Amino acid sequence: MPELFLPLLSLFVFSIPAKATPAQAGATDDVGDTALEATTTRLLRLRDGNLLWGTIETHNPEGIGFRLLETGGLLALPWVILDPTEEGELRLRFGYVEAQAEELMVEAHRFLLADGREIVGQIINRTDTDIWVKRAEGSIPVPKVRIRGASALVHVPALDIFTKDELYQKRVSELQSQLLEVGGAGARAHDELAQYCEHLFDYVHALEHYSTVRELAPDYNVQRISDALSRAQTKAALQEQVDYLVRIDLLRARKQYGKALTSLDEFPIHYPDSALLEDWNKMRTRVAKHQERDARDLVVKRWHFWSVRLAREAARRKETYAEVIDYLDETMGLEILEAVRKDLERIDPTIEAETVRRLWDEREGGRIRGATYGTGTWLLGPESAKDLLEPEEEKDEPSATEGSAKLARKRFEEKIQRYLKNIELSRRSQASATGDADPEEFWKLWNLAGRSQWIHSYYVENSGDYRDLEARLSACRECGGQGFKEILFTGSAIKGSRSGDHQVPCPNCHAVQVLRRLRYR
């Protein structure tokens, strides 16, 4: 045993003779699994990486009694000191998992719809037009035409998919033959079903089956069953309140946070002297944490969604190039913010635009996305089209007191820069630098897809809303990046012009030589 670990182990070593009995060690007097473990030498993994050889002689809700093979000493090891995997396996084996009321999870399919919403459930049927999905509130059809991409397999709380009674009856059916047995075999089956009921927060049935265990085998895991009976009796008496909290958790899982928070506020009114106020406080924390997590996740998804959607709508509605530039200057950003705020109302009905902006600005990571100006790159002018966007140097975050002022000043400066850039773009819309290309005429004849991509790219690059912005240039395929095309002219006797090679601006890139693409988060 490593010397560095000796001081730590000494905290858990009792002055107990090598042949001390479990009762002398102050642990439980369980039978069955404990008796088997006491005769089996095993390797025990600890959280800090150390390994111990010995036998597990006792266990209780606080930890295990482990006798060292090397010295014969008995250690009282709390669960927290064990390796997490080892802890989970032993808790499950000795029946202490239910004490932590771990929620039962099942596999389900997650579908992403065209409007950005998600539906999670188990597939129960497929037709030519719909996929039928099972959820706790019933079976619903999901039209195939509304599904975007393939479904993903996820783990979700079982009570999101099935009702409590459905899950209970299904488990009873699976254990039906074992439940009819007598003695230890029947006791083990009822014990398993009782623990399952606790996962479902069904303490009435849990109490019923724990009582059956005691009747069938009075010497079966005596201490644990006594603890379980006491726990189940307490919570069965409060089953109405338990069900109330479970319903709140279901509302949380379904992202109906408005109803969940309202129910949380009403709980202490309905049950002012409840013994579950600690559980109620934990539920408030749980709901608030999930609400913020889902809000942060949704704001990112919907911001990207609406930036593409509104760019396409602007390309369809705005008839002139000048109108598009005016729209991009201010209106588009405000419309995106308001659209995202409305989407987040289903998570937080009282959310304000400032909160949405904060959540967007505080986002972390995210996948790399792309945008392109396409054949409209030349509208930016030669300098802007070829600008490689040198990355900004990282700056220290401002303090809370000066942060708002610096942010306001930064946004004002960005607004001035956009205004000056828009003036330049408007000037070029009146007369092209090449003298023969009219931006307004080009915009009018350009296809919808090209216009919407250009609007989206311009917003991404100039709005200041995006991070890790990177420009990538590719040579124009029409002219090979030269900016012009050589045309063989045979001459004209009428005009008196000579034959020979003539250079004309490339009709694709309009002499800017490149097409501009963006990568961003």
Tell me the domain boundaries of the chain: 3-94, 105-162, 293-391+409-472
Cα–Cα distance measured from residue 151 to residue 171, given in angstroms and rounded to the nearest whole number: 28
Cα–Cα distance measured from residue 36 to residue 40, given in angstroms and rounded to the nearest whole number: 7
If DSSP codes are grouped into helix, strand and coil, which group holds residue 379? Answer: helix
Going from the C-alpha of 117 to that of each of 303, 305, 337, the distances in angstroms are: 14, 11, 18
Cα–Cα distance measured from residue 329 to residue 419, given in angstroms and rounded to the nearest whole number: 7
The answer, yes or no, to whether residue 328 has pLDDT greater than 60, is: yes
pLDDT at 434: 43
On the CB side of 151, how many CA atoms lie within 13 Å of its CA? 17
Closest CA to 377 of 481, 497, 271: 481
Cα–Cα distance measured from residue 200 to residue 351, given in angstroms and rounded to the nearest whole number: 33
State the architecture of 105-162 in CATH terms.
Roll (2.30)
Mean pLDDT, residues 347-358 taken together: 91
Tokens for 287, please give them: 């709901």
CB-neighbour burial class of residue 259 (10 A; exposed 0-12, middle 13-18, buried 19+): middle
Q: What's the chain's length in residues?
A: 521
Angle made by CA atoms 68, 70, 72, in degrees to the nearest 5: 50
DSSP element (H, E) containing 14 = none
Question: DSSP code of 139?
Answer: E
pLDDT at 335: 94
The answer, yes or no, to whether residue 200 has pLDDT greater than 70, is: yes
| Model pLDDT for residues 467-499, shown as the tens digit of each residue | 889 999 999 888 888 888 777 656 555 555 565
Closest CA to 312 of 456, 202, 193, 408: 456
Start-to-end Cα distance in the chain: 50
- The reply to whether 105-162 shares the fold of 3-94 is yes
DSSP element (H, E) containing 518 = strand 514-520
β pairing state of 63-68 and 74-78: antiparallel
Closest CA to 374 of 442, 462, 299: 442
pLDDT at 209: 93
Closest CA to 378 of 511, 501, 273, 482: 511
Mean pLDDT, residues 321-329 taken together: 88
pLDDT at 107: 87
Cα–Cα distance measured from residue 413 to residue 134, given in angstroms and rounded to the nearest whole number: 53
Cα–Cα distance measured from residue 315 to residue 453, given in angstroms and rounded to the nearest whole number: 9
pLDDT at 137: 77
Work out the pLDDT band at 355, boundaries 50, 70, 90: very high
| Model pLDDT for residues 107-135, shown as the tens digit of each residue | 899 888 887 778 888 999 999 999 999 88
Cα–Cα distance measured from residue 397 to residue 350, given in angstroms and rounded to the nearest whole number: 29
CB-neighbour burial class of residue 91 (10 A; exposed 0-12, middle 13-18, buried 19+): buried
Asked if residue 427 lies in contact with residue 381, where contact means CB atoms within 8 angstroms, the answer is no
**Number of neighbouring beta carbons within 10 Å of residue 90:** 20
Closest CA to 426 of 345, 285, 352, 325: 325
Mean pLDDT, residues 418-427 taken together: 55
State the pTM of this model.
Answer: 0.61
State the architecture of 3-94 in CATH terms.
Roll (2.30)
